[in-house]
Each structure stands twice: as C-alpha cells, then as structure tokens.
Amino acid sequence: MSRASLKMIQRKVQRQALPQVTHFNFPESSLSDWTAQHVSNFSSKQLSDRVRYRSKRMILDIIGVGLIGSTTSFSKRIQHFAETTDRISDKEPALIWGTSNKRTRPGMAAFINGSNCHSMDFDDTWHPATHPSSPILPALFALADFLPEQYKPSLEDILVAFNCGVQIQGVLLRCSLQSNNIPNRLHPPAIVGVMGSAAASANLLGLEPKKCLHALSIAASFAGAPMANAGTLAKPLHAGKSARCGLEAAFLADQGIEGNERILDMESGFGAFFTDYDPSTFFQELQTSENLILHHQDIAIKSYPCHLGMHWAIEASLHVRKQIVDLYGKMDASFVKSIEIFAPKSKYINRPIPSCEHDARHSFQFTANSALIDGKVSPETFVFGNIEKERKDLFTLLQKTTIVHRDDNKPCFDTMYVEVTVTLQNGEKFSARCVEPNGHWRKPLTDESLKKKFLTNSRLLPEHQQTKIIKLVSKMSSCDSSDGLLELLRTNI
C-alpha cells in the first residue's frame, strides 16, 4: 500500500465529515468520468435510511452464506489450491472466514471468501440479474484486514464502500435492456461484479477520481465468464475472481497503472459485454432521482440454496404437495402419472436429471420434485452421489416430468412465473402457480426469517459470536472498527 493511499484515506475521512449534496451531476457524454467521480466522492451522506436498512440485511446474509460455504468440500479444495500456489498461515493479513485463524494475502482471501459466498448459490440476487454482495464484501473485508492498524476502517466505512460497489453494479446493468433477462451468454457477477469490487475497494482506499477511473478500466480487463460453467464447480469461482480482481485493480491503479479513460463509454470497452449497451439509458433513468438504485430496487435474499429461478418452482410444488397431502394424507411417488412445469425458457436451468449438486441447483425438475416428494428444500437436498440409486422416489418423478414454455412467460426475475401441474394415476390434477417466491424483492424475508437463516448458516460459530455479529451488523457504526467484526468470523476465539 502506497503512502499516497494512506493519506487519501485520511483526506476521505475529513471529506466525509463535511456536508454533502446528495443529488447527482450528469456529464453530457462521459459515463466513465461521472462514475469515477461518483466512486471517489461516495459517502455516508448518500445513504438513505432505506438503503442503510437494506444493505445491512445484505451484509448479514452474505456473511452467513460465506460461513456455510466455508464448510463445503469445494471450499476445502480451493483452500488447498491456495496452500499450493500462495501462502496460508496465521501470520498473513487476511482471514479465511470460518477457519480457526487461517490467513492469506488479501487477493487470495477475497478469492476464497468470494467463491465460498457463491458455492451453494445461496447469495442474494438483484434486478437486473446479478449477485451483488459476493464479489464486494469479501474484497472489502480482505482490504480491511490488510490495512495497518492506524488506518483500519470503521464498520460505517465498510457500509459506505459496500453501497458504492452495489450502486456501480446497478448503474452498469441499467445500460443494457438485455440485462433485464435471466442471462444466457455471460455470468453477470463476473462482469458487473468485478466493477463493483473495484469501485468499493477504490472508495475504501480513498482514491482520487482519476485513480478510481483507472481502477474501473483495469477491472474491465478482468471481466467476463461464460454461462456454460453454470451448474459446475467453476461457477462459484466467478464471484471469487471478481472479488479478487476488483480489489487488485484498485491496488494497481493506486500504483499508477492506467487503462482507457473512456472504458465505460465505448462499444469496445465495457460495451463489449452487452450487445445493446447504451450509457445514455442510465442517465435518462436516474436524472429524476436523488437516491441510490438500492433505495428503489430491493434485493432478493434467498430462502433456498439454489438458483433464484428455482424458488418459483419450489414454492409452486410445495403448494401442490399440500393439496395432495390434505386429500390423501401423504405424498407418494407411486400416486403420480405425470408432472408439468410451466417455466420460462432458459437452457441452463432446464436440467432433466442432474449429475451433481451444482447441476441440481440449476434444475427446475430437480428442485420442483424435491419439494414435491420431501416437502422442503435445504442444503441437504443437494447432497447425493447417484440419484437413481440413492433417491429412487425422486428419480421416478424426474422421469415423469416435462418442462412447458408459454409465450407470455419471459425469463425475467421481475415478471416470470412458474406453474406446477401434477396428474395422478387416477386422473386427478393438482396445480399451483408462484408469481413471487418468499424472499423476492416484492416479498422480502422478514427480519426474523433473515436472522434465522443467518443463525442456521453460521452455526459453525458459537452462539455468543453469532449474537455479536448480528448486533454489529445491525448498527454498522462509525464508532466500531472493522476489526471487531472480522475477528468474529473465526471459529476458535
């Protein structure tokens, strides 16, 4: 870390103490310049009460999701990778969440923790579609761990930088109408996620606008990942890569590495990731608003550890199951003649008989029928080796299931629906439709449900640590150092 950056942190703290104007100034032509200034000047004054409330919920949720992700076999593999290619010891600066005190260098910590946050597809989802938290918070926590003691950020500093990163993702997604739909070519956390991570990291470092611009430009060179890797062990790496590369882009910019200063305005710049990229659409949308995007567009916090689209299918199936159980006293696979799932068309989430847990997390058929036969969907739902041998009833239902696409059902998390129709051997039909599952931005989890999810996901920690985390995150106060929260993510304190 350069002395310039440390001085910038001091200047940033002084700047945030001054009154701030919350409205946006829109340049005539350059989204790049506006974004860089926005990142550099972003402060607590721009956080409405609603934004604070929503973003603190996001932070609590992603901490819990990252902690349960740290217990997976996937996490053990990438930690072994880090031991082979990097350094892990209790002497390194940045904590690997959910370990006794394993630490590594900040980039690798961001990569591991970010990957863990997406390892079960349990992290939040926004509209337009992306997972906003998993590329950002791991980068900020790794950076906070890395900074010298006298420059440790407060939890409010973390909250501000986190919201800066979320805002930049929203800005960029709104430059493309294509991004409104469930993606089919590129995975958004690997595109806008790395830009959000770079923006958040640059803000926490207190970089001047020009360096913020170059951090974003460098991050764009690290962006991109194909949707073909959805349903594989490679997909969680997209979030980890974005967390790491965004953080390192900010470090590189601070060291004087420069990129194209028009990166966000060019078809061959960030426009390369969207065929209909148009920065002017963003300005048109936000000129009438003085609030951040998160103030207007809430987040989806997931109830089930799988692709968000599956939540519609799960809840429709649970309603069908209740109808059958209410009538017959139980649900038995032998009752069923056929199952139709009316869902939007999307190749990567139409998986008739999944071969592994990550495949299953992206399968309408698997998740709908698991809910139908088991009456629930939990992390244990996705633990299997061979479906045919280990879960015979589920395998029977999968063979009887058909996906049906209707023209009115578009692949968009804001407008889609899923309907499940089960026909029994005796000819009776039972149907249910879900238009917005529990946890959707129009049907948010209650605070109590979110707390319950966190406590379940963080159960590797002692109860007193869980309670302290909840308390600290509920405040994200300028009076609390980030150190106090980060230490609580260890398992042996």
pLDDT level of residue 101 (50, 70, 90 thresholds): very high
Q: What are phi and psi of 445, to 5 degrees?
A: -60, 145
pTM to 2 decimal places: 0.94
- Given the structure tokens 């974003």, which residue do they identify? 216
Predicted local distance difference test score (pLDDT) of residue 420:
98
pLDDT value of position 274: 93
pLDDT average, residue stretch 33-45: 95
pLDDT tens-digit series, residues 244-293: 999 999 999 999 999 999 999 999 999 999 999 998 877 776 666 678 99
Q: Which residue has the tokens 């991050």?
A: 219
Q: What pLDDT does residue 347 have?
A: 80
Tokens 């900010």: give the residue. 250
Q: What sign results for the dihedral spanned by CA atoms 162, 168, 174, 176?
A: negative
Tell me the pLDDT of the chain averaged across its residues.
93
Residues 6+ apart with CB under 8 A from 471: none
Calculate helix-pair angle for 447-457, 463-475, nearest 10 degrees.
140
The average pLDDT across 131-158 equals: 97
Half-sphere CA count of 154, side-chain side, radius 13 A: 14
**What is the pLDDT confidence band of residue 21, given thresholds at 50, 70 and 90?**
very low
List, in order, residues 6 or more apart from 20 with CB less than 8 Å away.
41, 43, 45, 46
pLDDT of 134 higher than 50: yes
Cβ contacts of residue 329 below 8 Å, gap of 6+?
none
Q: Quick check: 3 pLDDT over 90?
A: no
pLDDT at 17 over 90: no
Helix H or strand E encompassing 165: helix 155-173
What are the tens digits of pLDDT across the range 159-193? 999 999 999 999 999 999 889 888 888 999 999 99
Q: What percent of the chain has pLDDT over 70?
A: 93
Is the pLDDT assigned to residue 33 strictly greater than 80?
yes
Provide the CB-side half-sphere exposure for 444 (13 A, CA): 16
d(CA 297, CA 441): 7
Is residue 342 classed as helix, strand or coil in its secondary structure? strand
Please give the pLDDT value at position 29. 56
DSSP-assigned letters across all residues of 405-424: --TT--S-TTT--EEEEEEE
CA distance 274 to 175: 9
Residue 481 carries which DSSP code?
B
**Alpha helices, H only, 361-493:** 364-374, 387-390, 392-399, 447-457, 463-475, 482-487
Predicted confidence (pLDDT) per residue in 390-432, tens digit:
999 999 999 999 999 999 999 999 999 999 999 999 999 999 9
Residue 7 has pLDDT above 60, yes or no: no
- Rg of the chain, C-alpha, whole Å: 23
- Using alpha carbons, select from 303, 341, 328, 339 the residue that is nearest to residue 122: 303
Both tokens assigned to 437: 């599952």
Q: Is pLDDT at 492 greater than 90 in this prediction? A: no
Condensed to tens digits (0 to 9), the pLDDT of residues 460-485 reads: 999 999 999 999 999 999 999 999 99
